[in-house]
A and B are shown apart, each in its own frame.
Chain A
Amino acid sequence: MEQNILVLGDSGTGKTHFAVQLFGRLFKSSKAIWKPKSTPENLEIFKSGFDKLAKGLQIDHTPSAFHQDIAFHVVNQHNAEINFTYPDYAGEQLRNVVNNRSLNKAWQDRITASTSWLLFIKINDIKQVEDIITRGMPEYGIISKSRAVEEQGSFQIGDQAFYTELLQMLIRIKGASFLMAGTLPPLTIMLTCWDEYRTAHPGIQQPADALKDKMPMFYSFLTGNWPQGALNIIGLSATERKLDQDTPDEDYLDNGPENYGYWITVDGREEKDLTGIVSLIYHE
C-alpha cells in the first residue's frame, strides 16, 4: 500500500537535517528495513547537506527562494511504499498560509493527496507567553488603560494558536471533519533539536510531556481530536549535537554522520535507528 506523508514545518525546524540523516541511513545501511525506491528527483538539496555533515558542519538554512517541492520515496520488503513530500521546502509559506487564510492550488493538491502528516516543531524555541494568568498584577493601578493601542503594532498570533489554526485549516481543505475522528489523517508531531531541549529540561522524558508543558492548549487540541492510535508525539535530534557552521566537529569527521542522531519514542526511549520513525509513521 502506498502512503503519502506531507512534511510540514516552519523554517529552521530541522526538516533538512532530518531528511539528510534519514536518507543517509537508508542509502548506507544494509540492515535498514526501508530502502530508497529511487533517487530523489531534486538531489541538490540533499547533496550539499550530505557534504556538510561529512565535513562535520551544520547544513545551511534553506534559502527562502527555494520554492520547490521535494519528494522522496521509500519501500520495504513487502512493497509497502511511503512518499515523503515537502511542499515549498523552505517553509516560509507556512506562516503565510495562516496569515492570509488561503492556500494556493499546489498546496491544496498536496493536502488532498496526503494520507498522513508529519509536523516539525523546534520545541526549545517555543516561547511560553507570560500573561495576566502566569504573572498577576498584585497592585491596582499598574495597568494603563489609555496606551492600549500603540503597542499593538508588533502583534503576531502566538505559537499555540498558529499551529492549532494551521491544522484546522488543513483539515478543512482535506475535507475531513473533527466531528468524525476517523476522517483525520494520522499525525506525527516531531519535536526537533531534542538534545537542546533535554539539556534545558532534564526532568522531562516523554515528548508528549514536553509538548504539554510548553504548549498546553495546542496539546489539548491535539489529544482532544485525534484518536490515540492516530497521534504520535516523538522527539528528534538529527545530528545529536549542535554543529558549527565553520568549525568542523572532529568526531563527525572520524565516525561519519550516520553514527550520530537519535529519536525519542512515544514512551520516552532513545533510539539510534532513525528509520524506525518511518515504520512508526507507516500505518497498516
Chain B
Amino acid sequence: MPEITGCLHGYPAGSIGKCQFYKAGAGEPVKAATAAEVAQLIPWAGISLGQRDIAELAASRNLSVFGVIGMQNSGKTTLLTLLYCLLRQGHSIGDYQFSGSLTLPAWETLAYYMTWKAGNYITFPPHTPGSTGRIPGMLHLTLKNGRGHIRDILITDAKGEWFRDWSVNVDAETAKSPTWIHETSNAFVLVADCDVLSGPDRGIARDELKNLFNRLKNGLGSRTVALSWTKSDIVVRPAMKDNLMEHLQIQGIPLHQFMVSAYSQSDEHLPADHWQQQVLDLFEYLLKETENKSMQLPVIGSKKPKDLFLSIRHE
C-alpha cells in the first residue's frame, strides 16, 4: 500500500496543488484553483489511511488499532485479505457485522487477487510495498453488533522486512514504522509462518521469531498478543512447535493461538472452512480483548452535582 499524506482540506497527494493554501515548492509552477475547479473532494483517500485520518477517527470514534507483526512473506496481508473476503461474503466477526470502511478501494484491490478470474486464475496478494515513513499502511473497518455497539478498527499492513530490522535495531531508519505500531496498537497479532517453520531454514526462522517476540514484549504492558499460525495447511513438526511455544510462554504472556490458512481443510473430521473460520475467531478475540481498552475517557476526579454534563458522564 502506498503511503498517503494529502492535506487538511481533503486534497490527496496527487492533486494537492489544487488546495488554495498549497504553496508550491521551488521549481514547481504556481497554480491557483479557480472557482470552477473547486469540486468537493472526499476527505479519506480510500487507499490506506494516513495520520490525519487516524487523528480524526480517534477523536470521534471507539477506535482500536491492531498491529500485525511478522516477517517478510509470512502471510500478514493475506490474513487481512481473508478477513475482508469473509466479510464481503456476509460473514460476521462474532456478533459484529460490517458497517462501513474508509479504505474500501484498498480492501477491494487486495480481495481482487483472491477472487477467481477468467481461466481459473487466482493469486495471493503481492508483496507489501512501503517507504520508510513512520506511519504504516492501515486498513479500516467499522463494525456494529446486535446491540448497536460500534467499533472502529485499524489493522496495520506493514512491510515484513521492517520488522526484521526493528527486532535487530530499534534505531534503524526502517524501524520507525514498527516502532509506531508497537507504541500505538491496542493489541497485536504475531504471525508464525508454518511454511518457513517447517522448511530447511526453520532454525533461523525460529530464532528470528523469538527475537521479534522479545522486541514486542518490551513495553507491551497489559496489551494482548494473539499468535496466528499462518499457512496452517503445512504441518510444523511438534518438536519445533514445542521449542517455540516454550520460549514464548516462559515470558508469562498469555498467547491465544489461531490456525489460519487460505486453503480448505482436507481432514474429513473438520469443516472445510476450518482455517478461514479461525481468521474470524482471531479478530473476534482481539475485539473482545480490547473492548474496554480502546479510547479511554479522561477520569473526572470530583463529581459536582451542579454540573449536569459531568454528572451524567460520571454515571
List the interface of chain A (C-beta within 8 A of B): 101-105, 108, 129-138, 140, 142-145, 147-149, 151-152, 154-155, 157-158, 160-161, 164-165, 168-169, 172-173, 178-179, 212, 216-217, 219-221, 224-225
Q: Shortest distance in angstroms between B85's beta carbon and chain A's nearest beta carbon?
A: 5
Indicate whether B130 reaches chain A with its CB closer than 8 angstroms.
no
Bound-state CA distance A158–B106 (Å) is 12
With an 8 Å Cβ cutoff, the count of chain B residues facing the other chain is: 56
Q: Is the CB of B39 within 8 A of A145?
A: no
Find chain B residues with CB under 8 A from A165 CB: 46, 104-105
Q: Is the CB of A168 within 8 A of B39?
A: no
Q: Is the CB of A132 within 8 A of B85?
A: yes
Find chain B residues with CB under 8 A from A173 CB: 40, 42
Q: Is the CB of B115 within 8 A of A129?
A: yes
Contact with A along B145-161 (1 / 0, CB 8 A): 00000100000000000
Q: Is the CB of B263 within 8 A of A136?
A: yes
- Selecting from B64-72, B95-103, B198-206, the interface stretch reads B95-103
Find chain B residues with CB under 8 A from A220 CB: 87, 90, 92, 97-99
Bound-state CA distance A151–B91 (Å) is 27
Bound-state CA distance A101–B88 (Å) is 22
Most central of B45, B88, B124 by chain A CB within 10 Å: B88
Q: Is the CB of A132 within 8 A of B114?
A: yes
Q: Shortest distance in angstroms between A47's beta carbon and chain B's nearest beta carbon?
A: 33
Contact among A130, A142, A149, A224 for B99, CB-based, below 8 A: A224
Q: Is the CB of A172 within 8 A of B116?
A: no
Closest residue of chain B to A168 (Cβ to Cβ) is B100
Bound-state CA distance A169–B105 (Å) is 13
Closest residue of chain A to B111 (Cβ to Cβ) is A131
Q: Is the CB of B87 within 8 A of A217?
A: yes
Closest residue of chain A to B91 (Cβ to Cβ) is A133
Indicate whether B142 reaches chain A with its CB closer than 8 angstroms.
yes
Indicate whether B125 reaches chain A with its CB closer than 8 angstroms.
yes
8 pairs from A and B in contact (CB 8 Å cutoff): A105-B38, A131-B111, A133-B88, A138-B264, A151-B121, A155-B109, A216-B90, A225-B100
Bound-state CA distance A168–B42 (Å) is 10
Closest residue of chain A to B117 (Cβ to Cβ) is A151
Q: Is the CB of B99 within 8 A of A158?
A: no
Closest residue of chain A to B107 (Cβ to Cβ) is A161
Q: Is the CB of B109 within 8 A of A131?
A: no
Find chain B residues with CB under 8 A from A154 CB: 117
Bound-state CA distance A168–B105 (Å) is 13
Contact among B45, B124, B264, B273 for A101, CB-based, below 8 A: B45
Q: Is the CB of B98 within 8 A of A217?
A: yes
Find chain A residues with CB under 8 A from B142 CB: 178
Indicate whether B255 reaches chain A with its CB closer than 8 angstroms.
no
Q: Is the CB of B39 within 8 A of A102?
A: yes
Indicate whether A158 sits within 8 Å of B39 (C-beta atoms), given known contacts A148-B123, A151-B117: no
Q: Is the CB of B42 within 8 A of A102?
A: yes
Closest residue of chain B to A128 (Cβ to Cβ) is B89
Bound-state CA distance A211–B38 (Å) is 36
Indicate whether A224 sits within 8 Å of B262 (C-beta atoms), given known contacts A132-B114, A164-B104: no
Bound-state CA distance A115–B188 (Å) is 43
Q: Shortest distance in angstroms between A80's beta carbon and chain B's nearest beta carbon?
A: 31
Bound-state CA distance A160–B126 (Å) is 23
Contact among A102, A132, A147, A157 for B40, CB-based, below 8 A: A102
Bound-state CA distance A151–B115 (Å) is 11
Residues of chain B from 263 to 305 with CB closer than 8 A to chain A in the complex: 263-264, 266, 272-273, 276
Q: Is the CB of B272 within 8 A of A101?
A: no
Contact among B38, B60, B107, B113 for A148, CB-based, below 8 A: B113
Indicate whether B208 reaches chain A with its CB closer than 8 angstroms.
no
Bound-state CA distance A164–B150 (Å) is 17
Find chain A residues with CB under 8 A from B121 CB: 144, 147, 151
Find chain B residues with CB under 8 A from A104 CB: 39
Q: Is the CB of B114 within 8 A of A172?
A: no
Q: Shortest distance in angstroms between B241's beta carbon and chain A's nearest beta carbon?
A: 20
Bound-state CA distance A129–B121 (Å) is 13
Q: Is the CB of B101 within 8 A of A164?
A: yes
Residues of chain B from 31 to 77 with CB closer than 8 A to chain A in the complex: 38-43, 45-46, 60-61
Indicate whether A145 sits within 8 Å of B123 (C-beta atoms), given known contacts A134-B89, A172-B42: yes
Bound-state CA distance A129–B85 (Å) is 10
Bound-state CA distance A282–B193 (Å) is 56
Closest residue of chain B to A137 (Cβ to Cβ) is B263
Contact among A148, A212, A221 for B100, CB-based, below 8 A: A221
Bound-state CA distance A217–B87 (Å) is 6
Contacts A130-B116, A217-B98 aside, 19 further interface pairs with beta carbons under 8 A come to A101-B45, A103-B39, A103-B40, A103-B42, A104-B39, A105-B38, A129-B88, A151-B121, A158-B88, A164-B101, A168-B102, A169-B42, A172-B43, A216-B89, A217-B88, A224-B100, A224-B144, A225-B99, A225-B144
Contact among B88, B112, B144, B233 for A160, CB-based, below 8 A: B88
Bound-state CA distance A224–B90 (Å) is 13
Find chain A residues with CB under 8 A from B273 CB: 133, 136
Indicate whether A136 sits within 8 Å of B61 (C-beta atoms), given known contacts A130-B116, A143-B122, A178-B142: no
Q: Is the CB of A130 within 8 A of B266?
A: no
Closest residue of chain B to A106 (Cβ to Cβ) is B39
Residues of chain B from 224 to 261 with CB closer than 8 A to chain A in the complex: 233-234
Q: Is the CB of B124 within 8 A of A145?
A: yes
